[in-house]
Amino acid sequence: MKKQTGIQHLLGIEGMQPAAIESLLDLGETYLERHRSGKKIKKILKNRTQINLFFEDSTRTRTSFELAGKRLGADVINMSTSTSSIKKGETLIDTAMTLNAMRPSALVIRHGSSGAAELLAQKVGCAVINAGDGRHEHPTQALLDALTIRRRKGRIARLIVAICGDIAHSRVARSNIHLLNAMGALVRVVAPPTLLPDSIDRMGVEVHHDMEAGLKDADVVMMLRLQTERMGGSFVPSTPEYYHFYGLDAAKLAHADPDALIMHPGPMNRGVEIDSAIADAPRSAIQEQVETGVAIRMACLDALCRDLPDMGDD
Amino acid sequence: MSADRRVVYMNARLIDPATGLDETGGLLTVGDKIWDFGQDLFSDGVTDGSEVVECDGKCLVPGLVDMQVFLGESIDATSAAAAAGGVTSIAVMPNMSPALDQVALVDYIMRLARDAAVHVYPIAAATKGLAGQEMTEIGLLREAGALAFTDGRAAISDAQVMRRLLTYARAHDAIVMQHAEEPSLADGGVMNEGEMATRMGLPSIPAAAEVMMIERDLRLVEMTGARYHVALVTTAEGIDAVREAKARGLPVTCGTAPHYFSLNELATAEYRTFAKLSPPLRSEDDRRAVVAGLADGTIDVIVSSHDPHDEESKRLPFDLAEPGTVGLETMLAMILELDHGGHMPLARGLRAATCSPADLLGIPGGRLEKGAPADLVIFDPDAPIRIDPEKFHSKAKNSAFDGRPAQGRVLRTVVAGETAFKAD
Q: Which among A48, A62, A136, A138 is annotated as catalytic?
A: A138
Asked if B317 has any chain A CB less than 8 Å from its own CB, the reply is yes
The reply to whether residue B199 touches residue A92, judged by beta carbons under 8 angstroms, is: no
Residue in chain B lying closest to A14 (CA): B199
Task: Report the C-alpha gap between B47 and B271 in whole angstroms.
Answer: 56
DSSP bridge partners of B33: B30, B373
A71 is catalytic: no
- Please report which confidence band the pLDDT of residue A96 belongs to, taking 50, 70 and 90 as the band edges: confident
Is B193 in the same domain as B88? yes
Domain holding B336, by residue range, is 63-361
Q: Where are the alpha helices (DSSP H) in B67-118?
A: 75-84, 103-114
Residue B168 placed within a domain: yes
Asked if A189 has any chain B CB less than 8 Å from its own CB, the reply is no
The reply to whether residue B198 touches residue A113, judged by beta carbons under 8 angstroms, is: no
The reply to whether residue B206 touches residue A198, judged by beta carbons under 8 angstroms, is: yes
Asked if A18 has any chain B CB less than 8 Å from its own CB, the reply is no
pLDDT (0 to 100) of residue A85: 53
A61 is catalytic: yes
Percent of chain B with pLDDT over 90: 96
Task: Report the C-alpha gap between A262 and B326 in whole angstroms.
Answer: 51
Residue B193 placed within a domain: yes
Task: Report the C-alpha gap between B335 and B350 in whole angstroms.
Answer: 7
For the question of whether the overall pTM of this predicted structure is more than 0.90, the answer is yes
List phi, psi (to 5°) of B266.
-60, -20
pLDDT (0 to 100) of residue A86: 55
Residue B367 placed within a domain: no
Is B27 in the same domain as B84? no
Q: What is each CA distance from B407 to B15, B272, B275, B283, in whole angstroms?
A: 18, 24, 21, 24
Asked if B181 has any chain A CB less than 8 Å from its own CB, the reply is no
Q: What is the pLDDT of residues B261-275, one digit of tens each?
A: 999 999 999 999 999
Select the residue of A113, A118, A199 nearest B270 (Cβ to Cβ). A118
Residue B366 placed within a domain: no
Q: With 50 as the cut, is the pLDDT of residue B112 above it? A: yes
For residue B386, give the CATH number of its domain: 2.30.40.10
Asked if A230 has any chain B CB less than 8 Å from its own CB, the reply is no
Task: Report the C-alpha gap between B123 and B411 in whole angstroms.
Answer: 29
Residue B227 placed within a domain: yes
Mean pLDDT of B192-204: 97
- Please report which confidence band the pLDDT of residue A168 belongs to, taking 50, 70 and 90 as the band edges: very high
Peptide bond into B279 cis (omega under 30): yes
Task: Report the C-alpha gap between B211 and B216 in whole angstroms.
Answer: 9
- The CB density around residue B138, as the number of other CB atoms within 10 Å, is 20
Short-list A226, A225, A280, A283, CA closest to A254:
A283
* Non-local CB neighbours of B309 within 8 Å, separated by 6+ positions: B72, B322, B324, B396, B398
The reply to whether residue A174 touches residue B199, judged by beta carbons under 8 angstroms, is: yes
Task: Report the C-alpha gap between B63 and B354 in whole angstroms.
Answer: 7
Is B165 in the same domain as B183? yes
User: Where do the DSSP E strands lie in A98-252?
Assistant: 106-111, 127-133, 160-164, 186-190, 206-208, 220-223
Q: Which among A110, A150, A171, A264 is annotated as catalytic?
A: A110
Select the residue of B193, B198, B271 nearest A115 (Cβ to Cβ). B271
Residue B388 placed within a domain: yes
Q: Give the gap in angstroms from C-alpha B195 to the nearest C-alpha of chain A.
A: 5
B418 versus A97: the higher-pLDDT residue is B418
Whether B136 contacts B160, CB under 8 Å: no
Percent of chain A with pLDDT over 70: 93
Q: How many domains does chain B divide into? A: 2
Mean pLDDT of B60-87: 97
Asked if B195 has any chain A CB less than 8 Å from its own CB, the reply is yes
Q: With 80 as the cut, is the pLDDT of residue A258 above it? A: yes
With contacts defined as CB-CB under 8 Å, which chain A residues touch B315?
93
Is B401 in the same domain as B311? no
Does the complex come out with an ipTM higher than 0.90? Answer: yes
Is B72 in the same domain as B185? yes
Residue B368 placed within a domain: no
Asked if B31 has any chain A CB less than 8 Å from its own CB, the reply is no
- Please report which confidence band the pLDDT of residue A84 belongs to, taking 50, 70 and 90 as the band edges: low
Q: What is the pLDDT of residues A178-221, one digit of tens each?
A: 999 999 999 999 999 999 999 999 999 999 999 999 999 999 99
Mean pLDDT of B81-99: 97
**Surface-to-core class of residue A147, CB atoms within 10 Å of its CB (0-12 exposed, 13-18 middle, 19+ buried):** buried
The reply to whether residue B317 touches residue A202, judged by beta carbons under 8 angstroms, is: no
Residue B1 placed within a domain: no
- Please report which confidence band the pLDDT of residue A313 belongs to, taking 50, 70 and 90 as the band edges: very low
Measured in residues, chain A has a length of 314
Mean pLDDT of B297-310: 97
Asked if A197 has any chain B CB less than 8 Å from its own CB, the reply is yes
Domain boundary among B340, B361, B382: B361
Is B138 in the same domain as B229? yes
The reply to whether residue A114 touches residue B317, judged by beta carbons under 8 angstroms, is: yes
Is B99 in the same domain as B143? yes
A60 is catalytic: yes
DSSP A230: G
Task: Report the C-alpha gap between A65 and A305 in whole angstroms.
Answer: 14
Is B95 in the same domain as B190? yes
Asked if B271 has any chain A CB less than 8 Å from its own CB, the reply is yes
DSSP bridge partners of B386: B405
Is B77 in the same domain as B53? no
With contacts defined as CB-CB under 8 Å, which chain B residues touch A199?
194-195, 198
Select the residue of A89, A114, A119 nearest B201 (Cβ to Cβ). A114
pLDDT (0 to 100) of residue A88: 53
pLDDT (0 to 100) of residue A314: 41
Peptide bond into A258 cis (omega under 30): no
A88 is catalytic: yes
For residue B340, give the CATH number of its domain: 3.20.20.140
- Please report which confidence band the pLDDT of residue A7 belongs to, taking 50, 70 and 90 as the band edges: confident
Mean pLDDT of A290-309: 93
- Please report which confidence band the pLDDT of residue B1 belongs to, taking 50, 70 and 90 as the band edges: low
The reply to whether residue A200 touches residue B197, judged by beta carbons under 8 angstroms, is: no
When mean pLDDT is compared across A6-10, A297-301, B203-207, the lowest value belongs to: A6-10
Is B115 in the same domain as B35? no
Domain boundary among B361, B391, B413: B361
Asked if A208 has any chain B CB less than 8 Å from its own CB, the reply is no
Q: Where are the alpha helices (DSSP H) in B56-200?
A: 75-84, 103-114, 138-144, 159-171, 183-186, 195-200
pLDDT (0 to 100) of residue A200: 97
Whether B324 contacts B257, CB under 8 Å: no
Mean pLDDT of B377-385: 97
Q: Where are the alpha helices (DSSP H) in A168-309?
A: 171-182, 211-215, 239-246, 250-253, 276-279, 286-305
Q: With 80 as the cut, is the pLDDT of residue A309 above it? A: no
Burial A272-305 (b: 16+ CB within 10 A, else e): bbbbeebbeeeebbbebbbbbbbbbbbbbbbbbb
With contacts defined as CB-CB under 8 Å, which chain A residues touch B316?
89-90, 92-93, 113, 119
Is B11 in the same domain as B105? no
Is B29 in the same domain as B41? yes
